[in-house]
Amino acid sequence: MASKQYYVYILTNNSGTLYTGVTNDLVRRVFEHKNQLVEGFTKRYNLKYLVYYEATNDVHSAIAREKQIKGWLRAKKLQLINSVNPAWKDLSEEFL
């Protein structure tokens, strides 16, 4: 049996607002955000560009990591994004 994957991800918009989330299906979740199928913060601020994600096969690690990143100052989140995606390319273009 294949182990389940969990993803911690960061979305942004044209204004640079950041949103950190966790999911077990990154493709579906980003599709939902892009098409504004999810009520709340991401829909209100039109957050639809995937600029960062990481994967783990442990749900508890994913949730803990999401909480850790959410607790960071904005500057540290920007540093994390820039470390792997300095151009802030929409990473979901690879799979959507």
Q: Order the strands of the 6-12 sheet from edge to edge.
A: 18-23, 6-12, 49-56
- Phi, psi for 8 (deg, rounded to 5): -105, 130
Shortest CA distance to 11 belongs to which of 61, 77, 55? 77
Arithmetic mean of pLDDT, 85-93: 97
In the chain, where do the E strands start and end? 6-12, 18-23, 49-56
* Mean of pLDDT over the chain: 96
Contact 11, 18 (CB under 8 A): yes
Per-residue pLDDT at 2: 61
Shortest CA distance to 87 belongs to which of 52, 55, 54? 52
The tokens for 30 are: 């980003």
Higher-confidence residue of 81 and 1: namely: 81
Superfamily of domain 6-94: GIY-YIG endonuclease (3.40.1440.10)
- Residue 1, pLDDT > 70, answer no
The tokens for 41 are: 């913060």
